[in-house]
Structure formats: structure tokens, C-alpha cells
Amino acid sequence: MSLLVAQDLHKSFGKTHALEGAGLTIRAGEIVAVMGPSGSGKSTLLHCIAGILPPDSGVVRYGDRELTSMSDRERSELRRTDFGFVFQFGQLVPELTCLENVALPLRLSGMKRKDAERAAKDWMAKLEVDGVADQRPGETSGGQGQRVAIARALVTAPKVIFADEPTGALDSLNGERVMHLLTSAARETGAAVVLVTHEARVAAYSDREVVVRDGKARDVEFVR
Ligand code: ADP
Ligand code: ADP
């Protein structure tokens, strides 16, 4: 079943045509790697399909709803309930402990502290970072910080996880560990993952790869 479908997306930043007719289909529960060289439009595509950045033209559908015709408010509500995000760095709140960071999305949706922290602890254990629960993000290693961020993305049981170069700041050993834990956690919950990466080693964790081509067309092509 197609969960997320993007068609004929165009997006320009001034004279830079970042997307020129890009399209993409994500089925429920599948892990898709979006590949391509730096500057080819991968992040722009991810931001457009995740409802963070409005495309200049084209359509994004999520289930039977059209993301591209929703109000900003509807889109941010949908992001909160159905999507999870993991970026390269900088997404944890430095003033909060790691446990408070993971519990935050649940607290913001009105869950009691005790229940939110219990759920957060469970996810931190699955990501093997329960040991840093009481530390602040600045006190952890890069790999631990990314695993805390993944626990936070998963705690609301999203249908889609958007990950933009999630291992970009890590050495290869920690990168592999993060990918292993991210993909097995997604399999467990049935979440789809849209994974932007320029590394084949990271893309190897996906079910399918699409390539955003550099140059004019920048079409997305199915590799496997
Ligand atoms: P990738 O993720 O493949 O590296 P991006 O989607 O980040 O590619 O960028 C595609 C092109 O659009 C690049 O030329 C980039 O410099 C440009 N670009 C992306 N975001 C912006 C922005 N906010 N303002 C201006 N140019 C941008
Ligand atoms: P990545 O591709 O790993 O996400 P980038 O450095 O390409 O990282 O982009 C980081 C942020 O800067 C993004 O929000 C992107 O939209 C923006 N950006 C990218 N290129 C430009 C640019 N030439 N001018 C302004 N903003 C840009």
C-alpha cells in the first residue's frame, strides 16, 4: 500500500532549481534510501515530502490526504502525530536530560510525566542508551546522542521516520550501530523510513534505493 506519494515536485531557491520534477512513492513499513551526490536535492525532497517545506508546484499525498493543500496548522499537527524526524545533529534540547528529551513529544501531547518517562525509558533501553538517561545531550558521545534522537523520534509510534544523514557525523562503527538499531526499531513498530544518505554502506540497510540525479532532470529512479 502506498503511504506517501510525491509527484512532479518543483522547488527553487532563487536561481537554484533544487527539484525539477522529482517524484517518489513510499509504501507502509518500507525502508527507502534516497541517494545522490551533495547538492542534488535530497534534503529538499525530504523536506517537501515531510511537510516541512512547501514545494513551488507538485503534489504530496499521505494516505488519502493531500499534504500540499493542507493549512500550516494541519501539516504541523500531522507531523506531530504521524511523523518522526532524525537529523545529522543539533536536534536535542541541551538544557534537558536525555530522558526528558525522549519523553518531550509525549509530554507535549498531554501525557503524564510518569507515563511519558516510562515509555521513554523503554525506547532508550531498546536503543541501548538507557545508561545516559540522566545526562544532558552535551555529555554523551555522538553515537549516543543520535540513538537518543532516534528514541525520541520513535516514542510517539510514527508511521514514517524521516532521517537526513543520520550517521553523517559518526565514525563508521558507530554509524553501523545507529543504522542497525534504527532499522530494527522501525521494523518492530512497522514505521516506514525515508533515509537520506550519500553513503552506500548506510543505504545497504534499506529495502530499496532511489537516486536523485544531479543536473537538470533530477528525476528519481528506482535502483532495486
Ligand atoms: P542535498 O541534500 O542533495 O545535498 P539540497 O537539497 O540540500 O541537496 O540542495 C539542493 C540545491 O539547493 C543545492 O544547490 C543547495 O545549495 C540549494 N539549497 C537548498 N536549500 C537552500 C536554501 N534554503 N536556500 C538556498 N539554496 C538552497
Ligand atoms: P544537508 O544537505 O546535509 O541537509 P545542507 O548543508 O545542504 O545539509 O543544508 C542545511 C540547511 O541549509 C538546510 O535547511 C538547507 O535547506 C539550507 N541550505 C542548503 N544550501 C543552502 C544555500 N545555498 N543557501 C541557504 N541555505 C541553504
Q: What does the pLDDT look like over 133-181, one tens digit per residue? A: 999 999 999 899 999 999 999 999 999 999 999 998 888 888 998 999 9
123 Cβ contact list (under 8 Å, min separation 6)? 102, 151, 152, 154, 155, 185
- For the segment 83-94, what is each residue's pLDDT rounded down to a tens digit? 999 988 768 999
Q: DSSP character for 189? A: H
Q: What is the mean pLDDT of residues 47-63?
A: 95
Beta-sheet strand order (sheet of 192-196): 83-86, 160-164, 192-196, 31-35, 208-212, 220-222
Give the number of whichever ligand sits closest to the CA of residue 88: 2
Whether the CB of 167 sits within 6 Å of ligand 2: no
Please determine, for residue 21, whether its predicted confidence score (pLDDT) is greater than 50.
yes
Residue 111: how many other CB atoms lie within 10 Å: 18
* pLDDT at residue 221 in the model: 47
With a Cβ cut-off of 6 Å, ligand 1 is lined by 13, 16, 18, 36, 38-44
Mean pLDDT of 117-144: 95
Amino acid sitting at position 11: K
Beta carbons within 8 Å of 143's beta carbon, 6+ residues apart: 170, 174, 177, 178
213 vs 48 pLDDT, higher one: 48
3-state helix, strand, coil in the chain (%, to 5): 40, 25, 35
Ligand 1 site-directed mutation target among 16, 20, 34, 218, most atoms within 8 Å of CB: 16
Q: How confident is the model at residue 222 (pLDDT cuts 50, 70, 90)?
A: low
C-alpha 211 to ligand 1 mean position (Å)? 16
The residues, ordered by sequence, that sit 6+ positions from 141 with a Cβ below 8 Å of its Cβ are: 174
Query: To 10 degrees, what angle do helices 142-154 and 98-108 make?
Result: 20
Cell numbers standing for residue 108: 507535549
Nearest listed ligand to the Cα of residue 36: 1
DSSP helix/strand/coil, 45: helix
Which residues, 6+ apart, have CB-to-CB distance to 200 below 8 Å?
Answer: 35
- Picking from 158, 134, 137, 160, the residue whose alpha carbon sits closest to that of residue 149 is 137
How many H-runs (helices) and E-runs (strands) does the chain carry? Answer: 7, 10
pLDDT of residue 1: 77
* ipTM of the prediction: 0.70
Q: How confident is the model at residue 131 (pLDDT cuts 50, 70, 90)?
A: very high
> Model's pTM, two decimal places?
0.87
Q: Ligand 2 centre and the CA of 130: distance in Å?
A: 32
Q: Identify the pLDDT of residue 159.
A: 97
Residue located nearest, by CA, to atom 8 of ligand 2 = 43
CA 20 – ligand 1 centroid, Å: 13
Can you tell me which residue has the cell 545526562? 135
Can you give the pLDDT at residue 38?
Answer: 86
Q: How many A from CA of 142 to the centre of ligand 1?
A: 25
Q: What is the mean pLDDT of residues 31-50?
A: 91
Q: In a mutational test of the pocket of ligand 1, which residue from 9, 11, 13 has the highest number of ligand atoms less than 8 Å from its CB?
A: 13
| Residue with CA nearest ligand 2 atom 10 | 43
Q: What is the largest CA-CA distance in the chain?
A: 53
- Ligand nearest, relative to CA of residue 85: 2
